[in-house]
Amino acid sequence: MAIIISKKGKSAQKVEKSDFKEGYLQKYIYDNPESIPLYDIKEDIHLLVLAREFSTNSGPIDALGIDKEGEIYIVETKLYQNPDKRLVVAQVLDYGASLWRFYNNFDDFIRVIDSEVNNKFGVSFNQRVKDFFNIEDEEVSALIENLKKNLNEGNFKFVILMNKLHSPLKDLIIFINENSRFDIFAVEMEYYKHEDYEIMIPKLFGAEVKKDIGISSSSMRKKWEEKSFFEDATKKLKEQELNAVKQLYEFSKKYAENISWGTGATFASFSPKFSKISNTKSLYTVRSNGQLCLNFGWLNDNETAINYRDNFKKKLESKKIFKIPDNYKTHYPVYQTNIWCKKVDNFIEVVRSLIDE
């Protein structure tokens, strides 16, 4: 397969698929976890990779990560030409069993993880989690409790990355996902190189299987909708804050092509999607505890989304609504209700001008 690259509709060039080494893929995933398309499973999954070559009695795990719900991801990379590629499922399950058995003391696990995070990011595990997911101390504590429960019960999500998937592996993954309490996902990663640019095209396989078994006890999630959202918000917010949330929701319902509802265990959320900006990613998220999250980090999958992302930031700053962090391009800054509820009219004005462009 080849792809065509052009600039402003001219000077089109054909770029052939390239090869890469297994070690390069490992490092790429470690540095760019967003390249694993977990958003195809659920939009608001963001993977924080805690460690590379994480040691177990069965060998090193290529990458070990978590999401905001405290789910644990064991990531293994393998090239199609590798002679033991058919054994990769057994290999990742073996890693899971070893991780579960060896770290039966959760405090030992956290100490090792804290050391890994400190070495890479220069901050503690708790601080890295708080910064990456834009959550408060209470939510960090809940995440750690879920993490502990998942580790103790061996509730893992396995991700296999290959440059090419073959049919027997796909059949095996479907069989396991339909008949087990855990999930295995495979990602086929196509790689192209053009001048100084690297192009990765990931395709997720295994998320098609829907099942009721295997729901992690950590993710005792609830599917929210409009009525339950505002019932929860009414309990948590003051009248002025609640009115601001209602005003922003009514605007979102009128102008957004789609509104997705969160599945959080402790609070509800809604995320409007404006098709002009992105068909799959939301511009912001509103939680029933009054927090407003600006989803800059999602708007980076194409040039159009990137332009809207940067313009969104400029417009918000010009109106002096929020202080936007310098690293906004890859982050999701969260603002408390007392910060934005009095500025809800200005915020709506900014969003309307953005989608009217």
Q: pLDDT in tens for each of the 357 residues of the chain?
A: 678 888 888 888 888 877 777 778 878 888 888 888 887 777 778 899 999 999 888 899 999 999 988 999 999 988 766 656 568 889 999 999 999 988 888 989 999 999 999 998 899 999 999 888 878 777 888 899 899 999 998 999 999 988 888 788 888 888 888 887 778 998 888 888 888 888 888 888 887 665 443 444 444 456 789 999 999 999 999 999 999 999 999 999 999 999 988 776 677 889 999 999 987 788 999 999 999 989 888 787 678 889 999 999 999 999 888 889 888 887 788 888 888 999 999 999 999 999 988
The whole-number pLDDT of residue 48 equals 92
User: Which alpha helices (H) appear in 134-225, and where do they start and end?
Assistant: 137-153, 167-179
Strands across the sheet containing 156-162:
48-54, 61-66, 72-78, 156-162, 183-194, 197-205
- What secondary structure letter does DSSP report for 323? P
The whole-number pLDDT of residue 221 equals 52
**What's phi and psi for 13, nearest 5 deg?**
-130, 140
CB 189 within 8 A of CB 25: yes
Tokens of 226: 């409009």
- Stated as kind and residue range, the H or E segment containing 116 is helix 106-121
The whole-number pLDDT of residue 1 equals 65
Strand-pairing partners, residue 294, are: 284
The whole-number pLDDT of residue 212 equals 46
- Stated as kind and residue range, the H or E segment containing 314 is helix 303-318
pTM: 0.63
Those residues with Cβ within 8 angstroms of residue 303's Cβ, 6 or more apart along the chain or in another chain? none
* Helix axis angle, 106-121 to 125-133, nearest 10°: 70
The whole-number pLDDT of residue 84 equals 60
Strands across the sheet containing 334-335:
258-261, 269-273, 284-287, 292-294, 334-335
The whole-number pLDDT of residue 17 equals 79
- Stated as kind and residue range, the H or E segment containing 2 is strand 2-7
Tokens of 204: 């997720």
- What secondary structure letter does DSSP report for 17? B
Tokens of 130: 């708080």
Please tell me the distance from the alpha carbon of residue 104 to that of residue 99, in angstroms, as a whole number.
Answer: 8
- Stated as kind and residue range, the H or E segment containing 158 is strand 156-162
The whole-number pLDDT of residue 339 equals 86
The whole-number pLDDT of residue 7 equals 81
